[in-house]
Amino acid sequence: MEQIRVFVSGATGKMGREVVRAVIADKELLLVGAADTHFQGSDAGQLAGTDPVGIKITALSAESLKTSGAQVMVDFTTPKSVLANGKLALENGVRPVIGTTGLTDNEMAEIRALAEKLQTGAFIAPNFSIGAILMMNFAREAARYFPHVEIIELHHDQKLDAPSGTGLKTAEMIASVRPEMSQGHADEYEKLPGVRGGEFKGLRIHSVRLPGLVAHQEVIFGGLGQTLSIRHDAFNRETYMTGVIHAVKKVLEIQGLIVGLENIM
């Protein structure tokens, strides 16, 4: 069986190094390129904690993508660069698997339009954890019966966007089955601006950023005389690799853009 040729963008970041290790470990995949703004010229395998693999960290460019012969590019970079990276991959015949969060609806629409124009595939997921996908699905089901709900998402203090992609996706899934409504007392007021969190169609999302955290989310539902909490905790970045590798293999079968790991499981 021919191996799938994979390029990793953001290869020296915490998630990028994890992806590099996962690609190297999977016999169906072949690491053919790695890009980042840091550690250029270093061996991607060594930086990820494995034996040298002969793949040097380069800048991401049309040339580095073409030279690598990549079929799929996995992107875990920053919200500021992910749109350009995804479009660059598509324009050079490489299918992007994007885990970087922070893309707006308009930016995702740009990627969708380009993938459709080029008759190729692209994949975006706010979360690659199977447990997180189940948490979101359970929350959507619970919202049919418990319309009063708030989301608390907790991440490490180096995360740039808030709310997290998972928090926002959860809110969207809940809103799809729950009528928009106001929560709390009609006359409530904030002594500190923003203390009640961000509002999304009547529900509140609270973002916590602290060292020591990785990725965690709790969805709390309130009803008469009872509450229901649905929580997911990711304690390390290996949590996401099963989903990432699954997406890398599935994206070759996709036409257009698919958003959400649940849609390819």
Average pLDDT over residues 94-102: 93
- CA distance linking residue 200 with residue 175, whole number of Å: 8
Closest by CA position to 17, among listed 46, 42, 40, 58:
46
Structural domains present in the chain: 4-124+238-263 (3.40.50.720), 130-234 (3.30.360.10)
Q: How many CA atoms lie within 13 A of 110 on its CB side?
A: 13
Confidence grade of residue 133 (pLDDT, cut at 50, 70, 90): very high
- CA distance linking residue 30 with residue 26, whole number of Å: 8
Mean pLDDT, rounded, of the chain: 95
pLDDT value for 135: 96
| In 36-169, beta strands by DSSP E | 57-58, 72-75, 95-98, 121-124, 148-155
Confidence grade of residue 265 (pLDDT, cut at 50, 70, 90): confident
155 counts as catalytic:
yes
Which is catalytic among the residues 148, 156, 159, 246?
159
Which is catalytic among the residues 155, 169, 216, 250?
155
Higher pLDDT, 181 or 210: 210
How are strands ordered across the β-sheet holding 148-155? 198-200, 203-209, 148-155, 215-223, 226-234
Residue 22 reports pLDDT greater than 90? yes
Closest by CA position to 53, among listed 21, 76, 77:
21
